[in-house]
Structure 1
């Protein structure tokens, strides 16, 4: 009698970068292990950020997760800590070859709750052909950026979640990382200054960008010939690959706030591969996760199929950079200094709502002190939410 295959179910997000490399690695893993079948399902980018890991872990064996979920996942114990299942040497290699704080972003309370298979942060993107037509140089400072924006040639994501990440970025770049104490998101002095600076830019951005996530911005840039420069959006190396879109994008480090300053500090993103603690075949799921995160797969099969790897060896690989117009080489410095946002359980409440407050200010103006007061109230509630649910 034919033995029934072991089936694992996985959930990731529905973009080439999120879905295709998981299908490709699953296909190859199945070829090496014919007794196993891995079926990947995709969800939207918004669902990727919103839907509880607790709910997903009841339904799927493998979960591609956003790192702010780490604290929640650790608190609920719905995913396994890899330290209990993988060799210490493998995890040491993952940590040593982390792109920026990607590995650390899934480490909470001394345990590793996901493997960093994907690394990303907001980076700059350009259409070199359009900049050339304009006779414009690549912006180097915020002043350069503002000048280009005033010509209507700049776009970036103004969805609430992306606006909040950009607010964090402006704070860090101004010299103060957010959420460093239990009373306020950021000091009044920094908060007021960066809100005004942020609004001075968004006043020159077309309102359609309030409806676009980062990859929709890149679709806009490649399908039309209006936007020549995006100053910060979570990078997608797919758009720097020949044949992927109508026009090729080049990706760069960020501008500096002032001439002579270091480039801005963005807010780390990326994705990690977690294994549900509710599955029947945890050992198999862990072995597949190890396979996907291994340097050999990350710098070949994973990246060749549209993935944006989390292993440093892939980012430094010459062939990988040749195939992506030096995407990885050019943006690695941005990743290496990116800010790691809070991951405590209650911060998801803050993250889900705070962006709306900043978006309302950017769209309609208002009193910066009132905006900060509302953010601080929401932030303190998020800390209470965690203690109430501990």
Structure 2
């Protein structure tokens, strides 16, 4: 036992984040008896917040949030996969990216993580409750607002998700955030986005200000008041028989005005390797194993994972197991907005959501909200690091 190569990995503490890593590690160990891989978990908030600098000191393998890419590249805390995997493998990953998942981990022309998990905010419903209400899945924002006024709609209202939803409203109104270095969004689009967002949030129960996406889904499957969630980062686990008390069905987003379905803000997770690891060759072999199309469509997804390889998303058996989660939401992923990844954006992301949450809860002047966001945004651009 003492002669085994030991790798330590860190991921986030949900079935989707932990179980597929444990399963792939177990199988990899069976194929490579001289290797032991130990996975630990952290909370979803820590997943978004805790610095790669800190994690890379302790772990060989890191499941990371893609906005950390610029930070990681600037400090060289993780290795670029271009130096350890073949061009052919990386080209397959690129060609089979789910939306911009692959490019979300590409910075300065190098690939800092493999997109083993793909996600963006999508819609979710309790089909049984919609039938009881005599309504169909909302197709437009007006439909959504009508259902919300009945108290049957909810979504995540913690700061990070609120900021991502604000980006979504802006994109859906035709302007992406952070196009200039002077402001987060134009006043015209920003004001409209805030007002639309608040018009919906005003009809959501207060308890959702403390819930992240999977807590919203837990609420939906364990209670019978919320029939529809219009946008929250998708979790295919809740569309699988036996996972929850009820099965959720997932959908593309509603149409906003005349602009077609809304455009949400890309999420997902990537597998990175610490530059401090003493076993980079073995770690990269395991990463290749996890990200391979064969494992992504079988062992990974069968153990609760939400794959990042397009062939898995289009796989008939994968969709049969998940009430067509992947087929129904792929269009949403394909048009999702890739948020900024410059060095300082994590600092902005850590604080800006609080400003929008305060507006949603207490109201206020939209221009004042935008002014505060602009100041925070410009400050974040000044933080030392590598910009893209």
Query: Structure 1 CA distance, aligned partners of 2:239 and 2:253?
Result: 17
> Aligned pair 1:278/2:276, yes or no?
yes
Query: Structure 2 CA distance, aligned partners of 1:210 and 1:387?
Result: 33
5+ residue gaps, structure 2: none
Deviation at 1:356, TM superposition (A): 0.2
Identify the residue that residue 96 of structure 2 maps to in structure 1. 97
> Aligned pair 1:312/2:275, yes or no?
no
> Aligned pair 1:56/2:55, yes or no?
yes
Query: Structure 1 CA distance, aligned partners of 2:331 and 2:97?
Result: 13
Contact 2:172 2:259 in 1 (8 A): no
Deviation at 1:387, TM superposition (A): 5.5
5+ residue gaps, structure 1: none
Query: Structure 1 CA distance, aligned partners of 2:385 and 2:74?
Result: 11
Query: Structure 2 CA distance, aligned partners of 1:136 and 1:291?
Result: 45
Residues 155-191 of structure 1 show CA distances to partners (whole Å, capped at 9, x for unaligned) of 0000000000000000000000000010000000000
> Aligned pair 1:128/2:130, yes or no?
no
Distance 1:118 1:389, change over 3 A: closer
Secondary structure at the counterpart of residue 139 of structure 2: coil
| 1:308-347 aligned within 5 A | 308-347=306-345
> Aligned pair 1:25/2:24, yes or no?
yes
Identify the residue that residue 376 of structure 1 maps to in structure 2. 374
Identify the residue that residue 166 of structure 1 maps to in structure 2. 165
Identify the residue that residue 151 of structure 2 maps to in structure 1. 152
Q: CA RMSD in A?
A: 1.2
Contact 2:343 2:386 in 1 (8 A): no
Contact 1:171 1:190 in 2 (8 A): yes
Q: What is the TM-score with the length of structure 2 in the denominator? A: 0.99
Deviation at 1:261, TM superposition (A): 3.4
Identify the residue that residue 350 of structure 2 maps to in structure 1. 352
Q: What is the TM-score with the length of structure 1 in the denominator? A: 0.98
Identify the residue that residue 174 of structure 2 maps to in structure 1. 175
Secondary structure at the counterpart of residue 152 of structure 1: coil
Deviation at 1:319, TM superposition (A): 0.3
Residues 173-220 of structure 1 show CA distances to partners (whole Å, capped at 9, x for unaligned) of 000000001000000000001101100000000010000000000000
Distance 1:389 1:167, change over 3 A: closer
Q: How many residues align?
A: 388
Query: Structure 1 CA distance, aligned partners of 2:79 and 2:127?
Result: 45
Residues 220-252 of structure 1 show CA distances to partners (whole Å, capped at 9, x for unaligned) of 000000000000000000000000000000000
Deviation at 1:385, TM superposition (A): 1.2
Identify the residue that residue 42 of structure 1 maps to in structure 2. 41
> Aligned pair 1:254/2:253, yes or no?
yes
Deviation at 1:4, TM superposition (A): 1.2
Secondary structure at the counterpart of residue 78 of structure 2: coil
Contact 1:344 1:386 in 2 (8 A): no
Contact 2:76 2:275 in 1 (8 A): yes
Query: Structure 1 CA distance, aligned partners of 2:375 and 2:385?
Result: 16
Contact 2:20 2:304 in 1 (8 A): yes
| 1:48-87 aligned within 5 A | 48-87=47-86
Deviation at 1:386, TM superposition (A): 3.4
Query: Structure 1 CA distance, aligned partners of 2:298 and 2:230?
Result: 29
Contact 1:299 1:317 in 2 (8 A): yes
Secondary structure at the counterpart of residue 243 of structure 1: coil
Deviation at 1:331, TM superposition (A): 0.1
| 1:284-299 aligned within 5 A | 284-299=282-297
Contact 2:74 2:386 in 1 (8 A): no
Secondary structure at the counterpart of residue 386 of structure 1: coil
Identify the residue that residue 209 of structure 1 maps to in structure 2. 208
Query: Structure 2 CA distance, aligned partners of 1:292 and 1:248?
Result: 27
